[in-house]
Structure 1
Amino acid sequence: MSPSLPAPKALANAAGGKVERESTSARILGAGTAGLAELLVFHPVDTIAKRLMSNQTRVTSSSQLNSVIFKSHASDPITGRFFSLFPGLGYAAAYKILQRIYKFGGQPFVRDYLQTNHRGEFDRTFGASNGKAILHATAGSLIGIGEIVLLPLDVLKIKRQTNPEAFRGRGVMKIVADEGFGLYRGWGWTAARNAPGSFALFGGSAAAKQYLFELSDYNSATWFQNFIASIAGSSASLIVSAPLDVVKTRIQNRNFEIKESGAKVISNMIRHEGFSAFFKGLVPKLLMTGPKLTFSFWLAQTLIPAFNKVM
């Protein structure tokens, strides 16, 4: 009986590429650290983007833009306006760190399953040179759909950022008790947004490593290569998911007692604002949220292999 050998961190596959293998601890630590760093740096940016997406009026002046972004604090001194961009920080911390651990740390597990059980099908369908990138994208899409389990935290965070009046003095436990599964309102639209968005995020990054840097082992990417790959993935993700992200945000930022469906939201947007409403906030998202996603995705892609080497 031959002695068992430790599982290698990268195994050669039939197509001549590499199958990345990282420890569970490395995936959790790398993704969690990326989420925490993103939260500390970008929470104010996220608040601005959410408030712009929630705005349903045409902004024609700087004073009006100031009111949309800072709401009741629009006339406060600059320090007061800055700190007004940190509502819902507790919800954001819980959501963002768990989300990044789930998404960036969870995608490799789905990827491992697809690599082990379906890699040949991807290679035959898309070709050996394309199969690996599509497999990474598919794993990202599947993990993105499952992200709806964290939806209540996202709902509470968005309401604190855009519609704090919805809380009316109620604490978290009281809201959860009162609303129950109502906190999952918009779950279908969230899943519909996440599926193509996460496909584009992981697929765009994998494509950059595959075709731009010609890497067979994605974990061997340098900090710079991961950075460029993260820009490609995050930009593709934001553009693809933009229309459904606006719908999702508007469903989630309403008062709890308003039960307006996603179809109704879309109908009202087309009727009163036109099709351009589906891309409201896209430029700020590309300029502000884009770097946020790039930053955290870059850190996760870099830190997970780094932690794996030392653990």
Structure 2
Amino acid sequence: MSPVADKKQSATARVLGSASAGICEIGVFHPVDTISKRLMSNQTKVNSLEVFNKVIFRENATKPMGQRLLSLFPGLGYAACYKILQRVYKYGGQPFANEFLTSNFRSTYEDAFGSKTGKALLSATAGSLIGIGEIVLLPLDVLKIKRQTNPEAFKGRGFVKILQDEGLGLYKGWGWTAARNAPGSFALFGGSAFAKEYVFHLQDYSSATWGQNFVASIFGASASLIVSAPLDVIKTRIQNKNFESNESGFTILKNMAKNEGVTSFFKGLTPKLLTTGPKLVFSFALAQTLIPAFDKMLN
């Protein structure tokens, strides 16, 4: 017997719920994201607290704590635009993709994997497709990362001037971004769906409580970060270079393997699990809780 289909929420509820989650996330976690990006961009060994301090705070490493903390907020405008649009697109768009796949391929998935696993895999596949399409927002992500890790790349230019000068160059690394997002988003939505299916035995995923969404998001976020870690490091190193740099992802991959070893592909994973992990869990769980709440409120 096929599982009960998830309740459909309105497009307005999906936008409001995911945008609210994005706003809350950027307000709480932007400094944490800056730390993670700087650790991933670092190519030296961090073997002391002094070196760690320099990697994180850079030229502000010896300044008072207040100035050091403020230095973790570069690119906040780009980050806010990117994060809110990204969350609306990803968290609000995945249900639409899931509904499309369910309408057209439900029987195929259920015949191949069974009703429960098939339903969870449909959610994961929808997430993967949405993740690939996320590259349309890449320019904002590039500018955010450059502000966080390589502010010299701007050379006094504003947003409009950079768009005019760089054009499609802002999509540098799009292939690596898509390659990272496909398995990462598959694992995020799939991990959450499997937890709701097999841990909480929910027939309607949208009926999950805040606590259930939170636990399910831990499963999804952890799986997503681990699966996407190597490609995320390469993507970050492509995007943090000066605009005129033409170093390819494959060159970066080869140099990393040669000079830094295989473990370099997982640089920043531990702090990322400890920092980006909670951020992703927070926003994902919040969006999954707020979308049904807004839908109920609007109806």
The one of 101, 107, 110 equivalent to 1:114 is 101
Q: Distance in 2 between matches of 1:146 and 1:128?
A: 27
- Structure 2 unaligned runs (5+)? none
Q: CA deviation at 1:116?
A: 1.1
Q: Distance in 2 between matches of 1:92 and 1:250?
A: 18
Q: CA deviation at 1:60?
A: 1.4
Q: Residue 240 of structure 1 corresponds to which residue in structure 2?
A: 227
1:30 counterpart = 2:30: no
Q: Distance in 2 between matches of 1:16 and 1:187?
A: 37
Q: Residue 282 of structure 2 corresponds to which residue in structure 1?
A: 295
Q: CA deviation at 1:118?
A: 1.1
Give TM-score, length-normalised by structure 1.
Answer: 0.95
Q: Distance in 1 between matches of 2:227 and 2:180?
A: 8
- AA aligned opposite 2:296: K
- Structure 1 unaligned runs (5+)? 1-13
Q: Distance in 2 between matches of 1:307 and 1:117?
A: 28
The one of 63, 70, 76 equivalent to 2:50 is 63
Mean alpha-carbon deviation: is it higher for 121-130 or for 210-219?
121-130
Q: CA deviation at 1:90?
A: 0.3
The one of 61, 65, 89 equivalent to 1:102 is 89
Q: Distance in 2 between matches of 1:228 and 1:59?
A: 33
Mean alpha-carbon deviation: is it higher for 18-27 or for 155-164?
18-27
Q: CA deviation at 1:125?
A: 1.1
Determine helix, strand or coil for the equivalent of 2:202: coil
Mean alpha-carbon deviation: is it higher for 58-67 or for 191-200?
58-67
1:280 counterpart = 2:259: no
1:1-39 per-position Cα deviation (integer Å, ceiling 9, x unaligned)? xxxxxxxxxxxxx61322330100000000000000000
Structure 1 residues 44-55: aligned runs within 5 Å: 44-55=31-42
Tell whether the 8 Å contact from 2:6 to 2:206 is kept in structure 1 after alignment.
no
- AA aligned opposite 2:282: F
1:215 counterpart = 2:202: yes
Identity percentage of aligned residues? 67
Q: Residue 294 of structure 2 corresponds to which residue in structure 1?
A: 307
1:130 counterpart = 2:113: no
Tell whether the 8 Å contact from 1:19 to 1:115 is kept in structure 2 after alignment.
no
CA RMSD of aligned residues (A): 0.7
**Pair member with larger Rg:** 1
Q: CA deviation at 1:113?
A: 0.4
Q: Residue 250 of structure 2 corresponds to which residue in structure 1?
A: 263
